[in-house]
C-alpha cells in the first residue's frame, strides 16, 4: 500500500488504521447510537436496545416509556419489546 509516496506493508497499514479508530473513539469524533427512555428521571444510556431492556428489567424501571435512539423517539415502548 502506498501513501504519500511511501510504501507500507499490509500489517503496518492495519496497525495505522486501528490507531486512527482508537483516536477517533477517544475524541468522540464519531458517536455510536445510544439507547435510552424518553423519561425525565431516567438518565442511563446504552449501546444496544438489549442492554437497555435488561437494565429496565433489573432496575424495576417502568417500561411504559418510549425508547430513544440518540435522543430521538423510535415509536416503540420498552414494554413492546419485553
Question: What total number of domains does the chain contain?
Answer: 2
- Do 77 and 39 belong to one domain? yes
- Do 21 and 48 belong to one domain? no
pTM, whole model, 2 decimals? Answer: 0.62
Q: pLDDT > 70: what percent of the chain? A: 79
- The x, y and z cell numbers of residue 47, run together, are 449501546
User: Quick one: pLDDT at residue 25?
Assistant: 61
- The x, y and z cell numbers of residue 78, run together, are 420498552
- Do 8 and 24 belong to one domain? yes
- Do 3 and 24 belong to one domain? yes
- Do 5 and 41 belong to one domain? no
For residue 46, give its domain range: 35-81
- pLDDT 10s digits, 5-20: 667 788 887 787 777 7
- Do 21 and 43 belong to one domain? no
Sign for the pseudo-dihedral over CA of 29, 30, 34, 39: positive
- Do 13 and 41 belong to one domain? no
Return the closest-CA partner of residue 79 out of 48, 56, 58. 56
Amino acid at each position: 500500500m502506498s501513501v504519500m509516496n511511501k510504501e507500507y506493508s499490509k500489517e503496518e497499514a492495519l496497525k495505522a488504521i486501528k490507531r486512527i479508530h482508537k483516536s477517533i473513539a477517544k475524541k468522540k469524533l464519531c458517536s455510536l447510537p445510544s439507547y435510552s427512555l424518553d423519561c425525565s428521571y431516567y438518565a442511563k444510556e446504552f449501546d444496544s436496545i438489549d442492554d437497555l431492556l435488561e437494565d429496565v428489567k433489573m432496575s424495576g424501571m417502568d417500561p411504559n416509556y418510549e425508547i430513544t435512539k440518540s435522543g430521538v423517539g423510535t415509536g416503540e415502548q420498552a414494554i413492546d419489546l419485553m
